[in-house]
Structure 1
């Protein structure tokens, strides 16, 4: 893993892909733990097109050591630094016949422990005692996302499409994309690989067309503490 290459690529393009972070055996063990978890909780979302688990690492704490193996901890330390901690985690399972697609967007909200109006934060949303808010731009710019792929993923089963460099343009409304100036890139990732991205990069995904499943663990990291009285909903320090 060429850490400087990936750091430069993330800074310039807003994303990078690193394959072979997890072995087939590690992916199998992670998959088994997820499969054997009680899915009746309110943080589990089930439909014909999508299965999702919010606050994933809180709901299945037994996965932490499997997910943060030595390769992952090295990636985090070398690409982000020693001060980064988990602030959000979600699991997505896009079934083989899924018609679920996601239009171009930026990830503009963070998960927090309460609603506390303060300058620069808003709009707010609340659902089932979970709170999300759009924070000031500098907080969003500090976040990195790692997407762990439990299946081979390409353009036929929902690999992300991105607009390279769009993470550096602040709040970028998708309806204003000028395709005469911007380009679209599809980001295939092998089973056991990861995609690192900045949440401000414009990204989207298509419906599944090849009958292949797509399972992804989405984890966000920051090194920033929030203003007094407001805390990350899922803060988790990674043990060295």
Structure 2
């Protein structure tokens, strides 16, 4: 089974949903490892509304063997090629009582190992000794995101809503969205399914209405070497 139809959807629409990537048993193995991992690191964020782990793969390296099963490896091979690697990873757990929304936006920054003067790199920020910057457009266009859903997520449950094909408009300010001409899609994903997304796709999420838990692993991939000897702060190959 190939995923070239999904590659076409990703390129033309900016997103694609693929269910049945993980069995229930595989999901339970993943969630069990996460739940039994604890750390005093600043990358573990805990509050009543959100539990999150930044630099997820670095913080829990054992998770890679569970996440990258044969199906996901096949997806990545068909979507990109063998040159793609991990550049960013985050785990989100929005509990049943969490009821916040995310307004429409594009993912315009990358995480790097230091601050360096680079042409067309702008808007540098530093938080917890981590550096983020908006890179040149060719780097953003090369990235794709895999969102692994550990719970069923739908319109009633804070599923991502997207503006179809908005990634083709380069930098697209959300205040310029014309809902009379644009198509908005809610991306329902089953437990054990994934959503593929381009970072320039306008996306957001509504408040939950059914009080159901939403756990998602967000992983970004690229095949680009950064200029001026900059390094991806979370660089990690897929196969080891």
Fold-level match, TM-score > 0.5? Answer: yes
Equivalence for 1:43: 43
Check conservation: 1:151, 1:190, Cα contact below 8 A.
yes
**Higher mean displacement: 18-27 or 2-11:** 2-11
Equivalence for 2:159: 159
Equivalence for 1:61: 61
Equivalence for 1:238: 238
Equivalence for 1:218: 218
Matches of 1:213 and 1:40, distance apart in 2: 24
1:122-156 deviation digits (Å, cap 9, x = unpaired): 10110011111000011000000000000000011
Pairing of 1:118-197 with structure 2 (within 5 A): 118-197=118-197
1:190-212 deviation digits (Å, cap 9, x = unpaired): 00000000000000011121010
Matches of 1:161 and 1:140, distance apart in 2: 20
**Higher mean displacement: 37-46 or 53-62:** 37-46
What TM-score comes out, normalization by structure 2 length?
0.98
Deviation at 1:228, TM superposition (A): 2.4
**Higher mean displacement: 111-120 or 168-177:** 111-120
Deviation at 1:2, TM superposition (A): 4.4
Equivalence for 1:112: 112
Structure 2: unaligned runs, 5 residues or longer: none
What TM-score comes out, normalization by structure 1 length?
0.98
Structure 1: unaligned runs, 5 residues or longer: none
SS at match of 2:156: coil
Instruction: Name segments (4+ residues, structure 1) moved above 4 Å.
Output: none
Check conservation: 1:50, 1:100, Cα contact below 8 A.
no
**Distance of aligned partners of 1:117 and 1:228 in 2 relative to their CA distance in 1, 3 Å threshold:** closer
Check conservation: 2:118, 2:228, Cα contact below 8 A.
no
Please state if 1:34 is matched with 2:20.
Answer: no
Matches of 2:41 and 2:157, distance apart in 1: 27
Please state if 1:72 is matched with 2:72.
Answer: yes
What RMSD in Å do the two structures reach over aligned CA positions? 1.0
Matches of 1:94 and 1:158, distance apart in 2: 9
Check conservation: 1:97, 1:208, Cα contact below 8 A.
no
Matches of 1:5 and 1:76, distance apart in 2: 13
Matches of 2:129 and 2:181, distance apart in 1: 42
1:81-132 deviation digits (Å, cap 9, x = unpaired): 1110000000001110112210000000001001112211010110011111
**Higher mean displacement: 4-13 or 104-113:** 4-13
Check conservation: 2:2, 2:78, Cα contact below 8 A.
no
Deviation at 1:4, TM superposition (A): 2.1
